[in-house]
Chain A
């Protein structure tokens, strides 16, 4: 406990150091801040592992800071420790990558990142150990503002101001919701410490309203559709290692908030809360990946893919909640393990992919997929590591993304154990939606990887790209290696965070009486089903090597190079314009889904025969979240503002009248409620 607080203090010191050295040599300042942050985060992550391995006991601390009659309550239990691990590990790799990134990609006129980076991490750490609503909200806001300033650090780019504005509005809205939620949960006692909330379970109505508000408030931070609109604007706008932290890690803090309130603070949940989570999770997963498939900006695509993965996590949480509410703890444990495992997995492969996007950005100075291509030849290490990330996020065995998916499907297949008809059938539909999202995610990452790294270069910058520096490669290699290790041997990790699962749903995924083989994954509740990534990997590896040897020895080992077949058309253009682009790759899916969801329309401007101007294809799409939710809300707010504006120009008598009327109304309300 003391260690975590020390770590946060150190991070704040590093932020101060970053501010102080802003004027001195940049290289030294970066070495100090990123090196220091990396070490501090790495140690904090190690501490979290040790804490979880030691059973994940609860430690509390009361600091006499804040208002005189209120001291700051801090607490670490297995759930906090688990999220501390995720966040600090992400922080450590981001520091490593950021160090290299600062060297490789000098953004002229970029704002100060150095003091804000440790500040951001300190804010996230503080949210996780908060044990009363005040500390929680203050550190939540601290985290939001730090990340907002980090987004603003690229203020020279054209899209950043809008991204920052939308982000600020949504973050304030989210915090307001959380504020109201804690107010409801604390009830009339006015005691905002989590211990008190836990002890006095709020009445049913207040609990439901509180949960809904937390889902809205934390959900908007996590990127749940339709509150996701700020995320694909803000995440890509920040420098790449910060994007990785925002997408891979900060969204997890929001997930932590949802888990903390719905599973821990409120006691026995209602099943329909889980139903809401399931419905919005499914919507988020499918919409997120459909949005991602329509993007040509690499980092924005990744941000939308975060939305999809948050959907999968929310589905898993919803399952855990409905099974917990229906008193089926073993399956709730299965779903909760799936959720937590996916939290780890997503933080690993999403940071990896954002680092990869950062490397590509540093090497080609573009985020546009339409200007990349062929990078596998120019940047072999980045390409290889990105391939691991793309395969992992597409849930391919034997990598880690698949293990989370597998656990989640095992939980979904147990839907018949629930008593509610609507849920049984609803979960089948959610399962179909999740399967659709997973399959579309694979298409999405074939598209990303195929256009950025394979094929021929589509611009001079891509043709002359160079591999970036060691620190960046190492920053990518660490999460990539973990993606493989967790995919092959998931059981030790799931065992490691079993204390958190037990804390939340009062059961673990494994039956302790049976000796659980650590080498394969066979949860108790998934009757007889098991998955063994290690055997799969080893079998495929051995068979492949044997196959290569046999074929090269006895069949043929010779290779000739030649022009590819283009139906008789040899593309003379050095920019390889006849290649399939990212938008052409998405066209079948756009026709199958986009026309319904986004009202996507293709307009072809075909010149007459003999006309030499090029044909043009333009695609128009309407974002349903903006079109149906935010524009109408924005217009309503504008109209309300117009009405209120008139109040500025009244006579004093009218002002007095208004106040008098308000007083009378309040008195009437008091009179009515007193009865």
Chain B
């Protein structure tokens, strides 16, 4: 008899991963933000479902935090920044989309191969959750290195945080403090990046990392 609690959390985790892939696939900043919102929604649903299924009410707090911060505040704020700073809305990939996707699938395979032997004793759910969240983290990193635009690098960074929260949510008995700190660190990162963006804009009038590098005299 299939276990509905298991299946649902399984599916929500998969949606988070899927959204990571969708992030890699996007070519426009606004749709990137939309996809990120969807990922945050899926993550908060995953957290809420875990809270309900395992009777751990503090996970609702995590869910709420994720929902407000990542699904509402940050996308809106970034949206405003893009509009206000008049950033170019197309994402320029440093690596072609096809190659990025192939690299993404290889990373997922890698994380599965890494997680499986370590968690031979654990339940299928833990094993899968760890594999999923490690994949999300790696895909976030991949996104940060394969996209030139600073905003997409910020989004990549936040999707790494999403992966961490997914791992924290999946492992039963994780105390609330961790999630709070994770959430705050995202907040901090966001502020840092925000200031960073403004500064770059003031100084160089562009957000394209390649051009910024050229100011440093790094010629490729």
Contact = CB atoms under 8 A, between A and B. Distances in A.
Is A–B contact present in the complex under a CB 8 A cutoff?
A: yes
Interface in A420-452: 421-422, 425, 429
A422 B110 CA distance: 10
Contacts of B109: 425, 429
A286 to B, nearest CB: 12
A421 B113 contact: yes
A596 interface: yes
A421 B119 CA distance: 14
B116 A421 contact: yes
Interface string B102-126: 0000000100110011000000000
A421 B120 CA distance: 12
A422 B112 CA distance: 10
B98 interface: yes
A260 B156 CA distance: 52
A422 B113 contact: yes
Contact of A596 (B98, B113, B117): B98
Contacts, number: 13
B98 A425 contact: no
B99 interface: yes
A600 to B, nearest CB: 13
Q: Tell me the interface secondary structure of chain B in the complex.
A: helix
Contacts of B116: 421
B96 interface: yes
Contacts of A421: 113, 116-117
Nearest to A595: B96
Interface residues of A, number: 7
A425 B96 contact: no
A425 B99 contact: no
A596 B112 contact: no
SS of A interface (majority): helix
Nearest to B110: A425
Contacts of A422: 113
A596 B97 CA distance: 11
Interface in A396-432: 421-422, 425, 429
Contacts of B113: 421-422, 425
A429 B109 CA distance: 10
A421 B109 CA distance: 11
Nearest to A426: B109
A425 B108 CA distance: 11
Nearest to B116: A421
A425 B115 CA distance: 14
B102 to A, nearest CB: 9
A596 B117 CA distance: 34
Contacts of B98: 592, 596
Contacts of A596: 96, 98-99
B2 to A, nearest CB: 19
Contacts of B96: 595-596
A422 B117 CA distance: 11
A550 to B, nearest CB: 47
Interface in A570-616: 592, 595-596
Interface string B130-165: 000000000000000000000000000000000000
Contacts of A592: 98
Nearest to A428: B109
Nearest to B113: A421
A451 to B, nearest CB: 27
Contacts of B99: 596
B106 to A, nearest CB: 9
A623 B98 CA distance: 21
Nearest to B96: A596
Contacts of A595: 96
Nearest to A432: B105
A421 B99 CA distance: 24
A347 to B, nearest CB: 34
Nearest to A429: B109
Nearest to A592: B98
A425 B96 CA distance: 25
B206 to A, nearest CB: 27
A592 B117 CA distance: 37
B95 to A, nearest CB: 10
Interface of B: 96, 98-99, 109, 112-113, 116-117
Given A422-B113, A429-B109, 6 more contacts: A421-B113, A421-B116, A425-B109, A425-B112, A595-B96, A596-B98
13 contacts: A421-B113, A421-B116, A421-B117, A422-B113, A425-B109, A425-B112, A425-B113, A429-B109, A592-B98, A595-B96, A596-B96, A596-B98, A596-B99
The 5 residue pairs across chains A and B that have the minimum distance between CB atoms: A425-B109, A421-B116, A421-B113, A596-B99, A422-B113
